[in-house]
A and B are shown apart, each in its own frame.
Chain A
Amino acid sequence: MKRGISEVSHNLWPVASDAPSGAPGRAGPRRDGCGSGGAGSTSRELPFAGSDSEKASGPSPERIEHLERLALVDFRNREGVARLQAAIEFAGQLRAVDTDGVAPMASVLEDRCLYLRADDVVEGSCAEALLQNSQQTVEEYFVPPPGNITLPKQSEQGPVPKS
């Protein structure tokens, strides 16, 4: 696998780490990602530039770590990395499709009005039922461990651990 930032396109280090979630659905917990805040991604004139170099060598360990921090799932073993590599290659087939002048489609119901309900409370007051599903609660609070502590960087730990 390639190592070292200088060998990899600067496109791999975006300024902010938030992955835009294109789908409706509750946003995940906020996190600050890499922490190192590398060089901003300034050029878009090379589509797939990042993935071309990645295609050749597979996603870099920095990339894997970045994704893991965003997703908060770890999959750093060889099998996981291979899976990701295969998924990226598979998705590369989309390049072959000519989509000039085609607008993206987010929903098949795009030509209909979607109505919102009136902002009136019609049900709820079931705090007890909801709290019962949680493993740690105090009175009417869900209790997480302390926040504002970022995950420790794993990249210093060296080669990919065995699966």
Chain B
Amino acid sequence: MLKGYIPPYNATVVQKLLDQGAVLLGKTNLDEFAMGSGSTDGIFGPVRNPWSYSKQYREKRKQSHHRADEDSNWLITGGSSGGSAAAVSAFTCFAALGSDTGGSTRNPAALCGLVGLKPTYGLVSRYGLIPLVNSMDVPGILTRCVDDAAIVLGVLAGHDPKDSTTTQDPVGPFILPILRDVSKLCIGIPKEYNVPELSSEMQAFWSKAADLFASKGAKVVEVSLPHTSYSIVCYHVLCTAEVASNMARFDGLEYGHRCNVNVSTEAMYAATRREGFNDVVRGRILSGNFFLLRENYDDYFVKAQKVRRLIANDFVKVFNSGVDVLLTPTTLSDAVPYLEFIKEDNRTRSAQDDIFTQSVNMAGLPAVNVPMALSSQGLPVGLQLIGRAFSDQQLLTVAKWFEEQVQFPVIQLQELVDNCPTFSQHEKLGLVSLKR
């Protein structure tokens, strides 16, 4: 739909980075209009996870008697901001921007071994971010370590007169202190997140992380977010409804793809949109319009808005009970092969994969994926930390402590290892990208 479109202006988040001297290396691939959890449904094709080519993964494949150099069995990055995750994960760039409406930054961060930050809704400007769900979208930040994410957040956060949903309160600075003593910290473990679909390996890592906090003196408690199981359905209705409205602007007239039909305006719009949108987008628009029909409006859309309040209130109650940060899985398992992923359709996958990340967007809270360790397949697994609204600095401080504790390994890309003999001496480079 946006074929040939050259934006005549920069998004605020892009402009802020450019103003600070950032060098824009390029634009990355994603699921079309950020709808998807695999980065497989874009017009430029699916995105490959750099870890598919890593020494760590390939050695495990050899051990289990698979051909290590199988190219056809490459892994997905997760999505929808998979291209950004792949770029950062493969050391192509220092940081990348994504978007996060249901987990689209945190999901690929987890599968690509990155720090994926979803800031509090209202902290970072959405001006220039193509809207999907106006009340849940935020720009996401992908980096290799927590300090880098804090640097980028420091540049991006703050009121923007062009986005009236940004907070007017002063924000930052986002310099992270080194946390030495976690004994005053209370970590919440939401019991409803222990779903049957969670792989046993992920469950074990989650437990291990909780134990880690406890062993260092933090208080670790089980909490309840009772409406968690409804968040996907609620999101389904709200998202499709907002999409139906937001996608209405793409009509081929002022920008983007335009078809050849010239019989009437309506016919031109309809044909342009048929040609320009993929199945996923069209499906959501149609569903959204269904839920917004006058006789369905109260029963679906308003109902979903009420459920949203219940979900948001769950979090408020938990944070009011003394919990500082919630610790949850980010994804159900490590990265799966593309051929495996496409066996189910986009909506099914999104519904499955968004389970841990979605309700955070409902409530507008900050959340971050921190890579923890490599799975038995040699692939990254990450955990999610969720904080109170506008507590992004505290959240990142805890994340940084956790990162330091787990010492997630640097990706070893075969070509890099072969061509650069000094690489192994710089393995620590990945953890601190900016030396001051």
Interface residues, chain A, with chain B CB atoms under 8 Å away: 11-12, 14, 16, 19-29, 31, 41, 44, 47-48, 50-51, 59, 63, 67-68, 70-75, 79-80, 83-84, 86-88, 90-91, 93-97, 99, 102-109, 112, 114-117, 126, 129-130, 132-136, 142, 144-151
Contact = CB atoms under 8 A, between A and B. Distances in A.
6 contacts: A50-B295, A84-B287, A88-B290, A93-B233, A129-B8, A135-B258
A137 to B, nearest CB: 9
Contacts of B428: none
B270 interface: yes
A105 B286 contact: no
B306 A99 contact: yes
B307 A145 contact: no
Contact of B167 (A27, A112, A132): A112
Nearest to A103: B309
B266 A31 contact: yes
Given A21-B245, A23-B135, A115-B168, A94 B303 contact: yes
Contacts of A149: 263-267
A145 B289 contact: no
A70 B289 CA distance: 7
A149 B261 CA distance: 13
Interface of B: 4-6, 8, 121-122, 131, 133-135, 161-162, 164-165, 167-168, 227, 230, 233-234, 236-237, 240-242, 244-246, 248-249, 251-256, 258, 261-270, 273-274, 277, 279, 282-283, 285-310, 312, 345, 347, 351, 363-364, 389
Nearest to B227: A97
Nearest to A16: B294
Contacts of A145: 261-265, 267-268
Is chain B's binding surface mostly helix, strand, loop or mixed? Answer: helix
Nearest to A19: B292
A109 B165 contact: yes
B307 A97 contact: yes
Contacts of B254: 130, 133-134, 142
A133 B5 contact: yes
A11 B293 CA distance: 11
A74 B274 contact: yes
Given A23-B134, A91-B236, A151-B266, A109 B122 contact: yes
A16 to B, nearest CB: 8
Contacts of B306: 97, 99, 102-105
B8 A133 contact: yes
B266 A22 contact: no
A79 B345 CA distance: 11
Contacts of A41: 294-295
B314 to A, nearest CB: 12
Given A14-B295, A25-B246, 17 more contacts: A22-B242, A23-B134, A23-B246, A25-B248, A28-B251, A50-B296, A67-B289, A74-B282, A80-B283, A83-B345, A91-B237, A103-B309, A109-B364, A115-B164, A116-B164, A134-B254, A149-B267
A28 B310 contact: no
A53 to B, nearest CB: 12
A105 B312 contact: yes
Given A87-B347, A91-B237, A134 B131 contact: no
Nearest to A133: B255
B266 A72 contact: yes
Given A26-B248, A91-B237, A108-B364, A12 B295 contact: yes
B289 A106 contact: no
Contacts of B264: 145-151
Contact of A105 (B121, B268, B308, B347): B308
A72 B269 contact: yes
Given A21-B245, A145-B262, A146-B265, A133 B6 contact: yes
A21 B290 contact: no
Contacts of A147: 264-266
Nearest to A105: B309
A87 B304 CA distance: 14
A94 B233 contact: yes
B258 A28 contact: no
A48 B168 CA distance: 42
A28 B246 CA distance: 8
Contact of B244 (A21, A68, A104, A136): A21
Among B230, B296, B347, B364, max chain A CB count under 10 A is at B296
Contacts of B291: 91
A107 B312 CA distance: 10
